[in-house]
């Protein structure tokens, strides 16, 4: 009798997929594994002639404070209507710092794409289910990838996002497109707000 009950129990357990129940653990795994969440943050550094709007942006000011870029006032090309313009150059320490963090093919270009941070999931705050749909609130933070990232992104600041999930025949999935009011993971990350 024990053998029969054990066999029935084993069959019952194997018929349930771990993805059939939307738990905090499953939500954590699906959010962390999503391409949008795993994509590193890049900073685009334009050297050469830039508008004043770009040169006085918070990111450029941080790079100036670290001594990685310098600039001289220059005449604006016809494509730039906001004056004044600046000729931005990497300083010697900026060359050393940037060269160590950009891909080899980026070296020597005037527009440098620098990977600066990746997202880290802090935790799932809550799950609100309505039938075969659910909204998952989660907290995440930026983790700097290098010295430039550490100067631009604080790992201490947390963000709160909400993403939609949907239950399918093979289990719960994170929404890749929003059929209703629920947000996709990309929209959830773009619309993140600082955590209280």
Same structural domain, 122 and 169: yes
The H helix count followed by the E strand count for the chain is: 8, 9
Of 79, 98, 115, at which residue does a domain stop? 115
Same structural domain, 121 and 190: yes
pTM for the whole structure: 0.74
What's the domain count of the chain?
Answer: 2
Same structural domain, 104 and 80: yes
Question: Which residues neighbour 21 within 8 Å (Cβ) at sequence distance 6 or greater?
Answer: 172
CA distance 39 to 18: 26
Same structural domain, 65 and 110: yes
Residue 132, domain CATH: 3.10.450
Of 100, 115, 130, at which residue does a domain stop? 115
**For residue 156, what are the domain limits?**
19-40+117-194
CA distance 94 to 68: 4
Same structural domain, 122 and 189: yes
Same structural domain, 105 and 122: no
Does 176 fall in a domain? yes
Same structural domain, 30 and 124: yes
CA distance 100 to 77: 31
> What is the spatial order of strands in the sheet that 48-51 belongs to?
48-51, 85-90, 69-74
Same structural domain, 91 and 101: yes
Does 136 fall in a domain? yes
Same structural domain, 96 and 124: no
Q: What is the pLDDT along the chain (196 residues), one digit of tens a residue?
A: 776 666 666 555 544 445 578 999 999 999 999 999 999 999 999 999 999 998 999 999 999 999 999 999 999 898 887 789 999 999 999 999 998 888 888 778 889 999 999 999 999 999 999 999 999 999 999 999 999 999 999 888 999 999 999 999 999 999 887 555 567 888 888 888 888 7
Same structural domain, 186 and 122: yes
Q: 73, 42 in Cβ contact below 8 A?
A: no
């Amino acid at each position: 009798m024990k053998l029969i009950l054990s066999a029935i129990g084993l069959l019952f357990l194997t018929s349930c997929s771990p993805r059939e129940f939307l738990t905090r653990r499953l939500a954590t795994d699906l959010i962390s594994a999503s391409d949008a969440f795993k994509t590193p943050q890049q900073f685009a550094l334009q050297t050469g002639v830039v508008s004043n709007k770009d040169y006085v942006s918070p990111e450029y000011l941080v790079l100036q404070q670290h001594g990685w870029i310098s600039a001289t006032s220059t005449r604006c090309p016809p494509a730039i209507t906001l004056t004044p313009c600046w000729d931005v150059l990497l300083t010697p320490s900026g060359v050393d710092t940037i060269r160590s963090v950009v891909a080899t093919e980026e070296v020597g270009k005037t527009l440098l794409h620098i990977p600066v941070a990746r997202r880290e999931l802090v935790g799932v705050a809550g799950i609100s289910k309505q039938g075969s749909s659910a909204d998952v609130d989660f907290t995440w933070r930026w983790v700097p990838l290098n010295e430039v990232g550490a100067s631009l992104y604080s790992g201490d600041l947390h963000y709160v996002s909400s993403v939609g999930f949907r239950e399918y025949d093979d289990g719960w999935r994170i929404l890749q497109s929003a059929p209703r009011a629920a947000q996709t993971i990309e929209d959830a990350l773009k619309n993140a707000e600082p955590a209280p």
